[in-house]
Structure 1
Amino acid sequence: MIKYFLTLLILVSFLSCKNEIKKNDETISTELDNYINQVIENHDIPGLAVTIIQNNKTLYKDYFGNSTIDGKEQIKSSSIFPLYSTTKLITSVAVFQLIEQEKLNLNDTISKYLKNLPEQWNAIQIKHLLSHSSGLPDFVKYDSSLSDEEMIKKLAEDEMEFEMGYEYRYNQTNFWLLAQIIEKVTGETYEDFVINNQFNSNTNDVFDNKVTVSYYNRKKKKFEIPTYINGKRAHAANGINLSLKNMILWNSMLDNDQLLKPETKSLMWSSFNFKNEVDRFLFGWGITDVNDITSYGFSGGNISAFRKFPNHNTTIILLSNGYKIPAFDIIINDLARIVITELKDKNIGLEEYVITLINNKKYKEALYSFKKLKTENTQLDFFNLRFSVNTIGNIALNNDDFINALEAFKINAEVFPDWWVSYAGMAESYDKLNDTSNAVFNYKKAISLNKNSNSGYTIFMKDRIEKINK
């Protein structure tokens, strides 16, 4: 009888525990569904695929919306998305596979592999390309139809932007050169090396067949399909396209040491020592502290993002095909706050809540929430949230809604008083409202804070001051 009672007690306890786990899973899934649907509404995202992997298990995975703005086809597991700059993570793994095979070294100069480079480039090392600390001029400012030889010649005429290793400055030329080095060392094209070593050979859609990407044109007040062409030269920087299924598989292979050995991953995820002792970046991977919890990853074009929280065994992947207001780093940060127990238990504030409040014209509450977030996140610069708030202001400006545009810009200016962009937006708003004294004051404030005194927008602001004073 006692034995029967104990067995029954254990069974009841097991079922109770199992039901509690199931209940908790359903609760977190509902919370994530509600959050993501709010994000889609706030940012007008046409289609989205998202997954959260925790402790080597899929905690959450779902698909939302449509693959085109006409709504004819829904996002599904087979939908293939452009990664844009999230591609750089895959390129970095390719470089470290060659380092692991002792075919490359971080300290190798690029001139060891690439000949006929401009003389001022010869001392640059592979580590400088991976960490965006090379000081090279960026090829994106020139016509993409130029041949490789013509592009090198154009870039050679430019001065180096800074001393190599001094600072982080995002640059596509770095990854173009890395692709050339991979091809030189392996005898394969960059594309073939990546497919053969990181994906199964049947993944023939890695460089084509993607969903239609749409961006919101603020002036025309509608979504448009971008017409610019990056071309093969940009493949290593932003050219890979994947379904969520293949992205999950790639992450699993990375986690299970099938792509790189643990010690090689540790090297890849070690910090580059910038000479300015300010910037932070790993080798090909960004580093972000969300409420003082470290994560590694990157985002691309504000439509894709991949982030790992190594000390909490959590990976978050987002893929989409457009937006009205930039969102993705904000979403990654918030999803971490929802699913990582250490943050969840503290009832940490969400960045998306600020966007929701501004959209609902609750500016005082939005300002309070933004300030609270800044207090809770001592290491996060909130550039992406600032940029999203700024976009809300710019959309309002384009809709001749000058009062609400001004309110959005004011929030950024109060939380980040050294960011010149906020004052420029305020100045334009005051200008449109014919409040000339406040317009001039804020134009001057923006100019004084903007380090790039020769930018086109700075010239515009100076011109406006002159016209107003006349």
Structure 2
Amino acid sequence: MKTFKTLLILLLLIFTISCSKQEKKTTSTEIKNKIDNYLNKTMELHNIPGMALAVIEEDKVIYKNYLGQASLENNNPVDKNTLFRIFSATKLITSTGVFQLIQNGKLNLEDEISKYLDNLPIQWQEIKIKNLLSHSSGLPDIIRYESTLSDKELIEKLSEDKMEFVTGNQFRYNQTNYWLLTQIIENISGMTFDEYILENQFDNSTNGVLFSSNSQEIIPNRANRYFYNGKSKEFEKDTNNSGKRGYSGNGLNITLDRFIAWNKLLDNNKLLDRQTKSKMWTPFNFTNQKDNFLYGWGSYTVSESNSYGFSGGNLAGFRKFVNNKTTIILLSNGYEIPAYDIIINDIARIAIPELKVKGLTLEEDVMSFVLNSQFNEAKRSFKNLKEENPNSDFDNLRWNINSLGNSYLYNDQNNEKAFKVFKFNAEANPNWWISLAGLAEIYEIKKDTLNALDNYQKAILLNENNEWNYNEQMKNKIVKMENN
């Protein structure tokens, strides 16, 4: 009798384990099918040539896929050997490299950059390492000058420019910060920037990873980066070349598998120890008490789940949902309508168990409705999104809607279609100055002066930091309209 009971318990245990495995397999298949369907629809909707995407849960890759074409000219498919240039997502690698120096006692966040760099302009002397990483330096941006200038010529040009704001006051994305970090890394390590990164993060191997900020350089297996020409309705190959100066800010080219391997090293504390990672993922204390950015990493909330990461070129994104033990990696090579953060956010809603069970609204639902001019449905979806994500400003989504309006206006010259998109964006995002400025511009084009003036004035009030000095342009437009 005792033997029979033992046998019965064993059979029950085996049955339970078998059911559990079958349930996990069913769930895994369900997630794969949902992501496949989502990506196929999104690639078609946004006209994305090629893409690679992975979802990692703890140390297991639960989804990996390659879609579309790496080269439209040669009809080469995206596959496991395809290298993608990840543009500004490179800054995650650079930030990790800086914190490796900090971990090894060779650098400190509070160090002034003048400790490592000679002949800096007087007004730059007290800027600290932490200000470069957090884009709080206030430095003028090198992007306004030709990339053909020598380092010396560039410093001379920049030294004549005024600081954009008081150091530490606010966040303003800036390429000068990471150019200076390159020089600091090189001065401390005695290596070139790319040598330092490859040795300390990629085991000195160039298999599936390399640095090049030149889109025209012929590199085997690299996906071509494409821009969509709204006038000709065709993709054109990118010709951008930032040279070696751009390596730390936009120069990493990597395969999906190699990025997955890098993430595993990060998760297993092989690149940085737990304490140093925690420091890297600490919010910077901006003086204005408004902006939110970490040390080289952005912070993003999706339905109350926080994540760290960054994106690049509107093409690539890397995001770690640390509390959910999930990482999402997106690589792509072009688009007609940008979608990178939208895709990552939606994949999180589909794949992360804690979010999946809620049956959440997808950001792509809003874009789909807007693209199909179903604005009432778009309003309902956006309302649901805001209720489900009370701490999100949906920055990428609202920018994408704004880009769509501009495309209708300037490429298609369809004022009425553009007006409906700008109007929807302003109603959905009434506290965002960009949406009101866009609506004001279309009212101005339609010669509706009263509504144009009203929205320009509201946009100026909302643009407290005078981003891109755009308030001056809007004020000039107001004066011009009032004098007519």
Judge same fold: TM > 0.5, yes or no. Answer: yes
How many angstroms does 1:116 deviate by?
0.8
In structure 1, distance between residues paired with 2:162 and 2:445 = 39
Matched residues, number: 470
The TM-score with structure 1 as length reference comes to 0.94
Q: Is the 8 A contact 2:49 2:70 kept in 1?
A: yes
Distance 1:445 1:138, change over 3 A: same
Q: Is the 8 A contact 1:133 1:168 kept in 2?
A: yes
Task: Give the aligned partner of residue 244 of structure 2.
Answer: 232
* Residue equivalent to 1:213: 225
Pairwise CA distance, 1:346: 1.8
* Pairing 1:96-135 to 2, within 5 Å after superposition: 96-135=99-138
Name the counterpart of 1:41: 44
Q: Do the aligned residues in 2 keep the contact of 1:443 with 1:465 (CA within 8 Å)? A: no
Asked if 1:405 corresponds to 2:405, the answer is no
- TM-score with structure 2 length normalisation? 0.91
Contact 1:308 1:316 in 2 (8 A): yes
Q: 1:80 to 1:115 in 2, by over 3 A?
A: same
- Alignment check: 8 A CA contact 1:144 1:231 kept: yes
Code of the residue aligned with 2:22 in structure 1: it is N
Match of 1:19 among 22, 25, 31: 22
Name the residue aligned to 1:374: 386
- Provide the residue aligned with 1:421 in structure 2: 434
CA shift, 1:400, in A, is 2.9
Identity of aligned residues (%): 49
Check whether the contact 2:316–2:332 (CA below 8 A) recurs between aligned residues: yes
> In 2, are the aligned partners of 1:78 and 1:243 still within 8 Å (CA)?
yes
In angstroms, what is the RMSD of aligned CA positions? Answer: 2.2
Q: Which range is displaced more, 119-128 or 390-399?
A: 390-399
| Deviation readout 1:209-253 (Å, 9 max, x if unpaired) | 331100123344332222232111111111111011110110011
Say if 2:185 is the partner of 1:182. yes
Deviations 1:99-130 (A, max 9, x none): 11111111111111111111111111111111
- Identify the range of structure 1 (203-212 vs 306-315) with the bigger mean alpha-carbon deviation: 203-212
1:300 lines up with 2:304 in the alignment:
no
The answer to whether the 8 A contact 2:456-2:474 is kept is no
Task: Name structure 1 gaps, 5 residues minimum.
Answer: none
- Residue equivalent to 2:216: none
Equivalent-residue separation in structure 1 for 2:176 and 2:304 (angstroms): 32
- In the alignment, residue 407 of structure 1 is paired with which amino acid? K
Q: Matches of 1:404 and 1:357 in 2, distance apart? A: 14
1:46 deviation in Å?
A: 0.6
Gap change, CA 1:456 and 1:416, over 3 Å in 2? closer
Q: List per-residue Cα deviations over 1:43-71 (Å, max 9, x = no partner).
A: 11110000000121111110110002336
Q: Tell me which of 328, 341, 348 is aligned to 2:340.
A: 328
Residue 417 of structure 2 aligns to a residue in which SS?
A: helix
The code of the aligned residue for 1:312 comes to N
- Read off the aligned partner of 1:77 and give its amino acid letter: K
Q: Which residue of 2 aligns with 1:159?
A: 162
- After TM superposition, the structure 1 stretch with the greater mean CA deviation from structure 2, 323-332 or 308-317, is 323-332
Asked if the contact 1:83–1:242 (Cα under 8 Å) also holds between the matched residues in 2, the reply is yes
Of 184-193 and 352-361, the range deviating more from structure 2: 352-361
Which letter maps to 2:301? D
Q: CA deviation at 1:166?
A: 1.2
Whether 2:64 is the aligned partner of 1:67: answer: no
**Partner residue in 2 for 1:337:** 349
Gaps of 5+ in 2: 213-218
Contact 1:52 1:59 in 2 (8 A): yes
**AA paired with 1:246?**
R
Counterpart CA distance in 1 for 2:187 and 2:59 is 36
Deviation, structure 1 residue 328: 0.9
Equivalent residue for 2:215?
none
